[in-house]
Chain A
């Protein structure tokens, strides 16, 4: 009611503000408390994991040495995760990461030989079922590991029908390899990238008339036919391939020394690759055999304890 009469109440009464300084401060405080709690929990978990690191490493390495790749992969991958969260970049951490990769690769091997895969691919391609092959490869083989010993070459100029790209692949860690088995008179080549290659002595040296083989692992990415060159290309996933370094697991995989590639040659190749991969094999004692009561073993175990305490 006003002096002029009854005033109608406005339809839009101003609402109370949602964001007020008090609410803002309260929200910040809640977030701070929640963040601190989250961080503390993480630290607690990390501290607990760090306490288990020694066991994880020991068990993982023991399993790897025993050829139990599944357990080794589980433990070493977990150990690698802890090391990553701890931000460890020392040689021991590098070694565990490398062994973790090796165990994971050995545990996730492709189910059949490459020759069988390629035979299937070639059969389907010739029957005109390219799409069926792509789906089959995607379902059965993509992402599985191959561990291979082969002579690698710097990539030549390659014609790529899909991308239309031509010319030399100039990435220093890129490689190609002839997979020396013709599938229905079609040649087979592998391609991929190996970060350690650039540090491998003699890699790509044109003067090396007898290049040594390289032992490496990688996940299968694609297997496709290039009709222009009548070549099957097996491509390894670029960010997964790595140089193999462990002679014990190499043996467990079934790579036995023979007349052509004896123990010494294998050891020499793996040593060379360890150096290229920056792996110091003496950086960590073998936990599986460390606890034999000797002074050396005790010191190794002590080192391991110290590792876990870090």
Chain B
């Protein structure tokens, strides 16, 4: 025989030997198919598993009722550990009368299951999650068969390894990550891991949607529905946890316990809600005040962010203070004072007045009257107001409105000169307190005598009456509203209610 055919023959023999070993079925499978044993009589089989007992010529496998007999004495099976009981037997099922037994033709010692597990671990860059799941299924089945807790734990480990590998491969792809999360459920690895992967998918999705309000809104709604604690405003993460989460959301979430995860759901929701508010506001051209209001409403814990938007809006408003109307200025001044920026408020008022002063001074008495009203209401500057009114009086003496205003400021005309007769005017900014002199039932005239001219009057006609509301005070400060009912018949008005109005912000 030449060298080449001999080599081929050796290879064939070797491969067929290997194939027979590979074709070995586990005792578990063998037992499962016990109904087929009678039909398998005489068929050569290779069976591997853990033996329970051995005798001189007899061997029994765990959980298998069939005797495995050898015509020759069995070799001594040395056990290095209690677990070292795996063997491979090759032989045939035979009949002994009506009883079946397995005639051992060859027996080989095998490495134990844990060693097999370690040997079969998928390694290298080409290993696939499926390889791990296959190993997990093997160890799980075998662990169950032998009631081997350690091997069953190995199955969980293999599943985790497979999931981890799949998760690594799916990183950055929300759809694939969600697929992995589903595998976690089917492999019963636990909700924690599934939730962690879902979270990672959500973060990926959030990154991909960018600032699109519709998509952000959809994600927010999903968080509300599926992430416990997200809507609970009391469920707040401490600063350190929130900070760490914002820096590395996936890692921090993975490591967090259940309570912390609920807190992180709130952080996730809050950040998203603010992002959505900003995105929508950008589209709608909403002011910073409104953004701040929205944030305070939806995410009460994010007061710092809300204040930041308010500050930015105030700064922008300050820039254009001189172009504002009066009511807008009042609102801005009130906001500035609330934000403890009284100096800015005063400056804004000064600039606003400077712009109008020149124009009003060219409008004679009416302009000076208006200017006096403005400096009084905006700055409570009585001396400037008085000088404006005196100037108006010089321009056109005995104008009733001028006299009335000077009278209100404590001045009276003696001869041809206006002299101060009262100094009991308030020096603090005009704040109207709930008046003690106003009472329900008093007439409109009495009200006028007690409170003076209202700053504003709103009137509304109903079926039989006219409802009037007289407002006292500055829009930026506290205001009193007095509700009068005027009957249509005799036209007399009577105070019906008094209410304190909130400042207009």
Contact = CB atoms under 8 A, between A and B. Distances in A.
A213 B502 CA distance: 21
B488 to A, nearest CB: 4
Interface stretch (B87-95, B258-266, B460-468): B460-468
A209 B326 contact: yes
A254 B458 contact: no
A131 interface: no
- State which size class the interface on A falls in: 35 or more
A185 B496 CA distance: 17
Contacts of A213: 457-458
A177 B469 CA distance: 13
B491 A254 contact: yes
A260 interface: yes
B290 interface: yes
B463 A115 contact: no
Interface stretch (B20-28, B137-145, B187-195, B477-485): B477-485
A258 to B, nearest CB: 7
B208 interface: no
Given A228-B297, A254-B488, A166 B280 contact: yes
Interface string B256-295: 0000000000000000000000001101111100100110
B444 A258 contact: yes
B287 A149 contact: no
B352 to A, nearest CB: 9
B453 A260 contact: yes
Contacts of A237: none
A256 B491 CA distance: 7
Contacts of B457: 149, 213, 260-261
A45 to B, nearest CB: 35
B488 A110 contact: no
Interface string B223-246: 000000000000000000000000
Given A159-B297, A181-B481, A210 B326 contact: yes
Contacts of A208: 325-326
Contact of A181 (B323, B461, B469): B469
Contact of A166 (B290, B444, B485, B491): B290
B486 A181 contact: no
Contacts of A182: 481, 499-502
Interface in B441-460: 444, 448, 453-454, 456-460
B298 to A, nearest CB: 9
Which of A112, A157, A177, A259: most chain B CB closer than 10 A? A157
A146 interface: yes
Interface string B312-327: 0000000000011111
B300 to A, nearest CB: 12
Contacts of B486: 254, 256
Nearest to A186: B502
A167 B325 contact: no
Contacts of A261: 457, 459
Given A148-B458, A159-B294, A113 B465 contact: yes
B492 to A, nearest CB: 10
Interface in A152-184: 153, 156-157, 159, 166-168, 177-183
A113 B467 contact: yes
B462 A146 contact: yes
B59 to A, nearest CB: 76
A114 B317 CA distance: 34
Contact of B286 (A148, A168, A253): A168
A253 B471 CA distance: 22
A260 B470 CA distance: 10
A151 interface: yes
A206 B325 contact: yes
A261 to B, nearest CB: 6
A166 B286 contact: yes
A116 to B, nearest CB: 8
Contact of B327 (A114, A148, A211, A256): A211
Given A166-B281, A209-B374, A211-B327, A255 B467 contact: no
B500 to A, nearest CB: 7
A113 B456 contact: no
Contacts of B463: 109-112
Contacts of A109: 461-463
Contacts of B323: 206-207
A183 B453 CA distance: 23
A241 interface: no
A14 B32 CA distance: 77
Q: Which of B280, B463, B465, B479 gathers most chain A CB within 10 Å? A: B463
Interface string B328-367: 1100000000000000000000000000100000000000
Nearest to B500: A182
Most buried by B among A106, A115, A151, A259: A115
A157 B287 contact: yes
Contacts of A228: 293, 297
Most buried by A among B280, B444, B459: B459
Contacts of A211: 325-327
Nearest to B404: A259
Contact of B465 (A187, A205, A254): A254
A240 interface: no
Nearest to B329: A209
B497 interface: yes
Contacts of B286: 157, 166-168
Nearest to A217: B461
Interface string A24-61: 00000000000000000000000000000000000000
B60 interface: no
Nearest to B498: A181
A174 to B, nearest CB: 15
B297 A167 contact: no
27 contacts: A109-B463, A113-B460, A114-B460, A114-B467, A148-B461, A149-B458, A150-B459, A151-B458, A159-B290, A159-B293, A167-B284, A180-B471, A180-B501, A181-B483, A181-B499, A206-B328, A207-B323, A208-B325, A209-B327, A211-B325, A211-B327, A228-B293, A253-B466, A254-B465, A256-B486, A260-B457, A260-B470
Given A146-B461, A150-B460, A229-B293, 18 more contacts: A114-B467, A115-B469, A146-B460, A148-B459, A148-B461, A149-B457, A153-B327, A157-B286, A159-B293, A167-B280, A167-B286, A177-B458, A180-B458, A209-B356, A210-B370, A213-B457, A254-B466, A260-B470
